[in-house]
Amino acid sequence: MYIYKDFMTDEALASQKRSVLRKLWMNIGQIDVYLIFLSTGPDQFDIIHTGVLKQKHYPKKDLYLLGAAKGWESAALLSGQLYESFRQKYDKTFFSGDIWRDRQTLFRRF
């Protein structure tokens, strides 16, 4: 798994950012925490509950983590904020190809 260098969280998880990442690293379950990943499909982002990552055969190796939020609604709002920040950075509305191209500089190994 790779993590975005400017990893974002919502207000509810802002003080627990390190704890969320540590629990994710140790594969500890977290209640009501949703993660925002760079999508490999036609969408820009994927919102996945942390419980999904606990599955034994879930492909975690090639995931690109952008942010975390407490609750699905908050994750949807955070993905909107991520969308706006990337839209301003790349000055276009469909930027996932640019992120994939720049992933060496934007992400670090988790």
**What pTM, to 2 d.p., does this model score?**
0.89
CA dist 17 to 8, 11, 22, 39, 64, Å? Answer: 9, 10, 9, 22, 17
pLDDT reported for residue 23:
93
In sequence order, what DSSP letters do the residues of 70-93 get, joined into one string? ESHHHHHHHHHHHHHHHHHHHTSS
What are 10's two structure tokens?
């919502």
**Residue 71 CB neighbours (<10 A):** 14
> Can you give the pLDDT at residue 94?
79
Query: What are the CA-CA distances from residue 109 to residues 5, 64, 66 (Å)?
Result: 10, 9, 13
Domains of the chain: total:
1
The boundaries of the domain holding residue 39 are 2-109
Query: Which pLDDT score, from 0 to 100, does residue 58 have?
Result: 85
At 53, phi and psi to the nearest 5? -70, -15
pLDDT of residue 97: 80
- In this prediction, the residues of the chain whose per-residue pLDDT falls under 70 are none
pLDDT value, residue 71: 95
> Residue 74: what pLDDT?
96
